Amino acid sequence: MLNIYGLTRKQLEDYFESIGEKKFKAQQVFEWLYQKKESDFDKFSNIKKDVIEKLKNDFTNNKIKIIRKQSSTDTYKYLFELEDKNYIEAVVMVHNYGNSICVSSQVGCNMGCAFCESGRLKKVRNLETYEIVEQILLIEEDLNIRLSSVVVMGIGEPFDNYDNIINFLYIINDAKGLAIGSRHITVSTSGLVPKILEFANIPLQINLAVSLHAPYDELRSKLMPVNKAYNIDTLMNAIKEYYSKTNRRVTIEYVMLKGVNDSESDAIKLAKLLKGMNVYVNLIPYNETNHIEFKKSNKDNILKFGKILQDNNITVTIRKEYGGQIDAACGQLRSKEVE
């Protein structure tokens, strides 16, 4: 049976039409689920009893479960148990200007990036749309806060679960859904080029981030096997096409790995590669893990690397480190439970 939290408003409208009811009921259901935060169909007081019975026959309202929560100053890491006993994680960062969440998109990841914890656990399956939506709902309820921005940078490669991610984006961006502004939503991909091009065509103003991590193919292929399928040239062309269609600047993520991709000559190569492209670069301090050899670049090195990019007219930000103490860094989510 389908879970009600996995349907976009449009899909719910189609459902109501298919049972001979007015489309408008979809909006009422959305208001109950996402604004009044009511999941019990029997409490939908503006909907007729016979329609409620149909809803109960056709949909579940089951939720995934929070089974552990860890926190440090401004970061919370949640471990969720799915109905089939798989585990996923989400991280929340609380700021004075708003709260952001990093959600997972798959159980494990098949992309095999050399430095990534999430990828050590092979993909077990894609997350269903409702399992991504509910990460947000459950945490908002647990912390009694509103989450104002969302990044899809947890476990998984979102574009390897494209259709479910797109439905998730429609639901959370919907004014009658969670109403999270598209400018406050970012999807990060390791560079699945056909999906980047498809993403350029959807009518939502969602931000796109692309994990580059190396300025030349030989190194990128070592760090990210996906580069053998879509090399840097192909990826850059996709980003250019994405920009020309959407007019939205792409964020280039670059994780700083000591002695691997953080030299002056790497910075110069990266500046050359990105010259004239309308992108931002986000330098990410690497979060060291127990299982993987890579070390983080030291701070001065990161600053120097950033300065070279800036001197070449490239906009650079350096990601603040979150949650190092609780292994909660986004992109480094993997639960102790599943080791």
Which member of 13, 21, 89, 141 is catalytic?
A: 89
E strand spans, 106-174? 106-107, 125-126, 149-152
Does residue 327 touch ligand SAH according to CB under 6 A? no
CB 152 within 8 A of CB 166: no
Our answer to whether residue 141 is catalytic in this structure is no
Token reading at 260: 């691997």
- CA 322, distance to chain mean position in Å, is 16
Does residue 283 touch ligand SAH according to CB under 6 A? no
Picked from ligand SAH, ligand SF4, none, the partner binding residue 287 (CB below 5 to 8 A depending on kind) is ligand SAH
From residue 167 to residue 206, what is the string marking binding to ligand SAH with x (rule CB under 6 A)? ---------------------xxx----------------
Q: Which is nearer to ligand SF4, 44 or 115 (CB)?
A: 115
- CA 157, distance to chain mean position in Å, is 8
Does residue 253 touch ligand SAH according to CB under 6 A? yes
Q: Closest residue to ligand SF4, Cβ-based?
A: 119
CB 312 within 8 A of CB 63: no
Q: How far is CA 204 from CA 12, 34, 189, 208, 275, in A?
A: 19, 19, 17, 11, 27
CB 140 within 8 A of CB 92: no
Q: Which is nearer to ligand SAH, 12 or 250 (CB)?
A: 250
Our answer to whether residue 113 is catalytic in this structure is no
Closest contact distance (angstroms) between CB of 53 and ligand SF4 is 42
CB 171 within 8 A of CB 150: no
Picked from ligand SAH, ligand SF4, none, the partner binding residue 286 (CB below 5 to 8 A depending on kind) is ligand SAH
CB 337 within 8 A of CB 87: yes
Does residue 100 touch ligand SAH according to CB under 6 A? no
List of residues contacting ligand SF4 (CB under 6 A): 109, 111-113, 116, 118-119, 156-157, 190, 211, 331
As a whole number of angstroms, the distance between CA 157 and CA 170 comes to 18
Closest contact distance (angstroms) between CB of 102 and ligand SF4 is 11
Single-letter residue type at 214:
A
Q: Which is nearer to ligand SAH, 80 or 286 (CB)?
A: 286
Could you give the count of Cα atoms lying within 13 Å of 146 in the half-sphere of its Cβ?
A: 13
- Please select the residue that binds ligand SAH; options are 7, 153, 166, 196, rule is CB under 6 A: 153
Q: Which residue has the tokens 């709902």?
A: 137
Picked from ligand SAH, ligand SF4, none, the partner binding residue 329 (CB below 5 to 8 A depending on kind) is ligand SAH
Q: Which is nearer to ligand SAH, 181 or 324 (CB)?
A: 324
Cα dihedral 136, 101, 173, 109 sign: negative
Report angle CA 121, 126, 128 to the nearest 5 degrees.
140
Does residue 149 touch ligand SAH according to CB under 6 A? no
The residues that touch ligand SAH, with contacts defined as CB under 6 A, are: 113, 115-117, 153, 157, 188-190, 211, 253, 255, 284, 286-287, 289, 329, 331-332
Mind telling me the catalytic residues?
89, 330
